[in-house]
Copies of this chain bind each other. A is one copy, B any other.
Amino acid sequence: MKKSVTSKDVAKEAGVSRATVSYVLNDVKKVKIKPETREKVMAAARKLNYHPHSIARALKTDKSMSIGVVSRRNIAEDRFSIVLRGIKDALKEDKYSITLCSDEEDLNGNREYINYYLAKRIDGVILLSAEEVLSRYDIKKLTSRNLPNVLVDYHLKDEKLNTIDIDYFHGGYIATRFLVEQGYDKIIYFAPAISIPQEEERLKGVRTAISEFDSKVIKFKEVISGQTGNKYMDSITYMLKNKDDYTAVIISWVDAAYKALAEASKLNISVPEDLAVISLAGTHYADLSYPKLSTCDLPLYDIGYESGKLLINKIKMDTQNDIELVQKSLSCFLNPREST
């Protein structure tokens, strides 16, 4: 183990004190350094290839300069890395790093991310939703320990929490409006039988658009699918078989939209001629199907970026009065392809 270069070494090399080295290297404003001294220090640091020991600094300043990103157990696969990249980019400027946390409980029933915080490994936490509810107990733990936090895509507007959400209402709305504008006038909305805020907002968005364009829409119906396994598949087939003279379907889950494309092909339903299909989430594979799937994409990168920036602000403000709440909702965007 090669002994590493410390600020002491740099101080000696530059012929100054360790304090001065710290002042120079951290560019401390309230201390004036003679330009030539500054230069000496810089030169010495460069010569010795000095790297500040971030652990020592963290101990002194009581800031780990790392934030926890918590992915709950059944995290959606491809979404995750996109959101992560957004967070990473947001952290760059302030030189925070990301520590990956789970929400698993240890032997004493404490969640990993809480433990990391108590052990001072992280300064704050971003919680990513995963179709799972955050219990009131967890929320309490979060706030009572005043752990700086932001909740991403949880849609818990009633709580006093910093949140970055996806505007699912808007997604449902623009997808529907798009269909109407394209001339589709008999529309089905196909959604899973699950009562989470995300799906409720989508439904409201769709309904709002439908009623708004009332004069242009002849028929509209809602079909609720099973959630998983065979039920899920079956309800897609059922919906397709009973499409009657409906000309377009909005499908909230992208997997279901894929499946619908496949089933339609089996049933000799041409897309989009017999039935247009649009899903309320995007995916890498949308370009690879036949026909290419039209989607209304989620702002995944953006929710990452925004939540990163927000959390850093919260951490910085933590010493001051932390009164103001931030609750943002980011828009979805249309990506029409061949299926509409």
In angstroms, Cα B98 to Cα A69, docked, is 10
Residue of A4, A55, A259 with most partner-chain B CB within 10 A: A55
How many copies, total?
Answer: 2
Most chain B CB neighbours (cut-off 10 Å) among A64, A97, A265, A284: A97
Q: How far is the CA of A120 from the CA of B120 in the complex (A)?
A: 16
Least CB distance, A169 to chain B, in whole angstroms: 27
Q: Is A118 an interface residue (CB 8 A)?
A: yes
Q: Provide the A42-70 mask, 1 if CB < 8 A to any CB of B, else 0.
A: 00000000011111101100101010010
Are A262 and B284 touching (Cβ within 8 A)? no
Q: State whether the Cβ of A88 lies closer than 8 Å to any Cβ in chain B.
A: yes
Interface bin, chain A: 35 or more
B288 & A99 in contact (Cβ 8 Å cutoff): no
A77 to B119, CA, bound (A): 32
Q: Is the Cβ of B99 less than 8 Å from the Cβ of A55? A: no
By beta carbon, the residue of chain B nearest A292 is B262
Knowing A54-B121, A289-B262 are in contact, say whether A116-B97 is a contact too (CB < 8 A).
yes
| Bound-complex Cα distance A98 to B58 (A) | 18
Report the Cα distance A332→B66, complex, angstroms: 36
Contact A54–B120 (Cβ < 8 Å): yes
Complexed CA–CA distance, A54 and B263 (Å): 54
